[in-house]
Structures are given as C-alpha cells and as structure tokens.
Amino acid sequence: MAKHSLTRREFINLSAGALAAASTTTILLQPQKLFAAGRLALSDKIRFASIGTGVRGCEHLQASLSVPGIECVGVCDLYDSRHTAAREAVNNPSVAATRDYRSVLDRKDVDSVLIATMDHQHRRIFEDACAAGKDVYCEKPMSHTVEDGFSMVDAAHKHNRMVAVGSQRVSSVLYAKAKEIYDSGKLGEVFSINAYWDRNSPSGAWVYPIPPDASEKTIDWKEFLVGAPSVPFDPIRFFRWRCYKDYGEGLGGDLFVHLLSGIHFITSTNEPAQRAESSGGLFHFKDGREFPDLIETMYDYPKFRVTLRCNLNNNGGEFIAFYGTQGTLLIKDNTLSFKPEDTRPDPEGYSVFGWPKEMRDAYYKKWHDEHPEPPALGWKVDHTGESYVTPPGYSDTVDHQANFYAAVRSRKPVVENEVFGNHTSIGCHLANFSYFNKCIAVWDPASKKIVKG
Ligand SMILES: NC(=O)c1ccc[n+]([C@@H]2O[C@H](COP(=O)([O-])OP(=O)(O)OC[C@H]3O[C@@H](n4cnc5c(N)ncnc54)[C@H](O)[C@@H]3O)[C@@H](O)[C@H]2O)c1
C-alpha cells in the first residue's frame, strides 16, 4: 500500500480505539432476581423428578437447590451408582430413586420431569411424560432425529404441556444483553454470523473414564438399548455415548445446538436453516468413534448466513460474532462486547494512489469542499464500545430452570419451547446429514425432511 497520510476514518478509528481503550468500562451484569414478584409464586411448590441423573442430571439437581419454589421428589437412572450421585447432588439421601421412569410418571405428586438422558431416549420419555400430564424440561438437543422432533412437538401440543429445552444460554443475562443490543439496531444490518466452540482435551472429546463398578448388574443395559440396535454390553458405548450415532449426534448435538440456540434467540429466529454444508474430519480421536473431531458448517438463513465450527483439537473456547454494517457484537465465553464502526463519509484513501498527483489533489480538494471537516481538536468521538461480563459463579442453568418453572406456574411458554428446540435440533441434523452424505443438506419444510441438495 502506498505511503499516505491518515484518512479521516483512520484518524477517527485510531482516536476511538485509543479512547475506547481508555474509557470503555466493563459492566458486570447482575443475575435475574429469582424471587421477584410475578416470576414465581412461592406458596405452592412444584415437585419435579429427574429422569437421567448422569453428569448433566446431577448438575441440574445441584442447580435446582438455588431455584426457589421447587422440590426434587424423585430421581431415576439406569445405573445404580447414579442414584447415589443424584441423592448427593440434591442433598437429600432419602429422595426416592428408581431405574423405572414409568413409575415416576405414575406418581401423582410429580408435577414435572427433567429429562437428562442420552439423546436417543429423549423422545419416548418426553412423549410418555406429556401423556402422563407432566410438564417437561428436556435436555438439548431435543431430538435425536428430525422425525423424533416433530413427534415430540405434537405430543406437547396434544397434551397441552409446558416444555423447556435445555440450551441454557437462552436464559443467560449475557445473551439477554446481546439481544438488547442486537434489537436496538446499533449493528445496522447483520448478514454474517460466525460461531465456534473448541475444546482440546480427552474430557472435551468425551473420553470419560469408565466407573469401576460398571457392569450388567449395576446398569440396565436392555433399557438403554430401547430405540437403538441390540449390541452386547459395552460400557464404552454407555459412558461415551456421544461418539456413536445410535445414541447421540456428535459435535452437532453436543455443541452446535448451543450456538444455534444462542443465535436463534438473539436474532429472534424461529425456523430451521434453509440449507447447510459441512466439512471436517476425524483427525485425532481415532478411538472407534463414528463422529468427526472437527466439523465446520455453513448455514443459509433467509436474512443472513451462519458459519459454525467445533474443533476438539484446539482450546479456542466458546465464541459468537454478529457482523453488522454499523458494528460488531462479540460473545467470548462469559464476556460480551460491542464495537461500532465509523460509517461517516470518507474520501477514497487507496485507489487514488494510482492516479497522477495533480488529479489526486484535485479529487481531494473537491471531496473536502463537498464534505467540510470538523476542526480536528473539536471532534467528539461518540463511537466507544461497550463490554459486559457475568459475575463469578453465575449460572445460566439456574436461570433456565427458573424460567421453566415460572412457565409451569403461569402457563406462558418459555422462549426455548418445543418448537424452538425442534428448529435448533434440525440444525444439528442438517450439519450431520451434509457431513456424512458429502452433499448440501436442504431443509424441505413441505415434507419436514432433509433432502440432498
Ligand atoms: N445443557 C448442557 O449444557 C448440557 C451439558 C451436558 C449434557 N447435556 C445433555 O444432557 C443429556 C445427558 O447428558 P449427560 O452428559 O448427563 O449424559 P450421561 O451419560 O452422564 O447421563 C445420562 C444418564 O441417562 C440415564 N438414562 C438413559 N436412559 C434412561 C432411561 N430410560 N431411564 C432413566 N435413565 C436413563 C443413563 O443411565 C445415564 O446415567 C444429553 O441429552 C446431553 O446432550 C446438556
């Protein structure tokens, strides 16, 4: 690039950058007030049972202790040691525990259930729970297949149940602030959204240790296989189920769904992507798994494009960026920042350096005559950014649960209800369809199916 003096925009950007560095303060967001009037009436408790008390189920049970007006009255899991873990998590050694979820649904004192099982079990427990008159918090991704998702939506509607799907970012104070900024129009028009979630450890790649007591005596293997092909007992498949197509959806179902839920929430999108194209590969974790450890997907939505990546070979963390014509909104882990762009008119600062000096000078003179500049020292830079962070210990899971139980009381649906959850799950299925079939995956709303593009 030719040497030339700073254009006005470059000067303003430099000034704004310097000022932003000096003056942008990071604002600590406050958690929702769970006890606020109107959100929860604490007089009668909602009694819930957790079906599936593995890692996520236990996290939920622990989080539930911070949600007012609810009580865990039962826990259910196919693996006996998880009954103990669940009782410990909910701090109640005598809470009823069973392997049989149907007996939980038969209980009249259970108002709602929290489903945190492997994904291939979501549909049948969800539909049985709806038929039994229970409200349902179902972990993400809501569906294991596209067909499952629509059947679950029908069941919730048929039985008039309140449903929350478990991408808890949708209830996060950070995402609420991001939505507020997005809705304010400060970003201008947003055509490009990019997100990633990268982890770089065996645990991040689901290579979980197998508990020493795992056996066909302690695990109801037959029940685990319902909805999946019959195979001999294999603790690897039970504890590392995300690696296998029969039970999970790999990175699509584990992490894409969180990113898509955040994007749908912030942009007020409630429809599946129109098409998707994935690339990726299994580069490192060649342990018999059926899913890639790197997947990158481009999605088409009517008003913007989305690119997602999950990489299990780098610790990039969690990130979403909204690139607008007037600014950029970034979410990186627990921090949100907005940086406006200076879109005021500027003379051409590049290509005129291929012009003869006289012509270039005449161009600049004319431009400046038509755009009188403010006196340099009088410029007021009003383009500083904004930055927000969640407080240490903040739990969006607590907020997500609280929103669900508020809906159970008010009978007003949460944002991430069964329809929203179905649409983001379809996003995972589109990504995997494209990856495994090596084609563009097209969403056909008429047939409610994914077809080859
Ligand atoms: N929202 C989040 O941040 C988040 C985080 C982790 C997991 N998840 C989701 O939560 C769900 C569970 O994941 P996890 O990591 O806890 O898995 P996990 O393997 O640790 O636990 C799943 C448990 O479900 C039990 N189970 C399966 N079928 C059952 C049945 N019919 N009846 C009773 N129990 C049954 C199993 O015995 C197992 O203990 C998945 O859908 C996962 O995608 C969500």
DSSP string, 326-394: SEEEEEETTEEEEEE---S-----SGGGGS-HHHHHHHHHHHHHHSPPPPGGG-------EEEEPPTT-
**Could you give the C-alpha distances from 91 to 56, 58, 67, 401, in angstroms and in order?**
16, 11, 14, 18
Q: How far is ligand 1, taken at its centre, from the CA of residue 144, in Å? A: 13
Tokens of residue 86, six digits: 């669940």
Q: How far is ligand 1, taken at its centre, from the CA of residue 339, in Å? A: 39
Q: How far is ligand 1, taken at its centre, from the CA of residue 154, in Å? A: 23
- Asked whether 87 lines ligand 1 (CB < 6 A), one says no
pLDDT for residue 21 is more than 50: no
pLDDT recorded at residue 375? 57
- Asked whether 261 lines ligand 1 (CB < 6 A), one says no
Q: List, for residues 274-330, the tens digit of each pLDDT value.
A: 999 999 999 999 999 999 999 999 999 999 999 999 999 999 999 999 999 999 999
pLDDT for residue 5 is more than 50: no
**Could you give the C-alpha distances from 90 to 84, 96, 135, in angstroms and in order?**
10, 12, 20
Structure confidence at residue 23 as a pLDDT band (50, 70, 90): low
| Site to substitute for ligand 1 among 53, 55, 56, 137, most atoms within 8 A of C-beta | 56
Average pLDDT over every residue of 265-280:
98
- Asked whether 139 lines ligand 1 (CB < 6 A), one says yes
Q: How far is ligand 1, taken at its centre, from the CA of residue 282, in Å? A: 24
Sign of the dihedral through C-alpha 31, 37, 39, 41: positive
- Asked whether 57 lines ligand 1 (CB < 6 A), one says yes
pLDDT for residue 42 is more than 70: no
Q: How far is ligand 1, taken at its centre, from the CA of residue 139, in Å? A: 8
Average pLDDT over every residue of 402-422:
96
pLDDT for residue 196 is more than 90: yes
β partners of residue 286: none
pLDDT recorded at residue 235? 98
For tokens 């009823």, the residue is 96
**Residue 301 CB contacts under 8 Å (≥ 6 apart), including other chains:** 269, 271, 273, 274
- Asked whether 109 lines ligand 1 (CB < 6 A), one says no
Q: How far is ligand 1, taken at its centre, from the CA of residue 81, in Å? A: 14
Asked if 428 and 250 touch (Cβ cutoff 8 Å), the reply is: no
Mean pLDDT rounded to a whole number for the chain: 92
- Asked whether 262 lines ligand 1 (CB < 6 A), one says no
pLDDT for residue 35 is more than 70: no
**pLDDT higher at 400 or 13:** 400
pLDDT for residue 90 is more than 70: yes
Q: Sort 74 into a burial class: Cβ within 10 Å, 0-12 / 13-18 / 19+.
A: buried
Portion of the chain with pLDDT greater than 90, in percent:
85
pLDDT for residue 383 is more than 80: no
* pTM greater than the 0.75 cutoff: yes
pLDDT for residue 2 is more than 70: no
Lowest mean pLDDT among 178-182, 263-267, 343-347, 365-369: 343-347
Q: How far is ligand 1, taken at its centre, from the CA of residue 54, in Å? A: 5
Average pLDDT over every residue of 396-420:
96
Asked if 348 and 363 touch (Cβ cutoff 8 Å), the reply is: yes
pLDDT recorded at residue 44? 77
pLDDT recorded at residue 373? 67
Residue 78 CA: nearest ligand 1 atom is: 37
Residue nearest ligand 1's atom 11 by CA? 116
- Asked whether 116 lines ligand 1 (CB < 6 A), one says yes
Q: List, for residues 217-254, the tens digit of each pLDDT value.
A: 999 999 999 999 999 999 999 999 999 999 999 999 99
Q: How far is ligand 1, taken at its centre, from the CA of residue 264, in Å? A: 24
Question: Crossing angle, helix 396-410 and helix 55-64, to 10 degrees?
Answer: 70
pLDDT recorded at residue 41? 53
| Site to substitute for ligand 1 among 51, 77, 213, 401, most atoms within 8 A of C-beta | 77
pLDDT for residue 377 is more than 60: no
Average pLDDT over every residue of 172-182:
97
- Asked whether 329 lines ligand 1 (CB < 6 A), one says no
Q: How far is ligand 1, taken at its centre, from the CA of residue 118, in Å? A: 4
**Residue 255 CB contacts under 8 Å (≥ 6 apart), including other chains:** 197, 310
Residue 117 CA: nearest ligand 1 atom is: 24
Structure confidence at residue 344 as a pLDDT band (50, 70, 90): confident
Residue nearest ligand 1's atom 27 by CA? 117
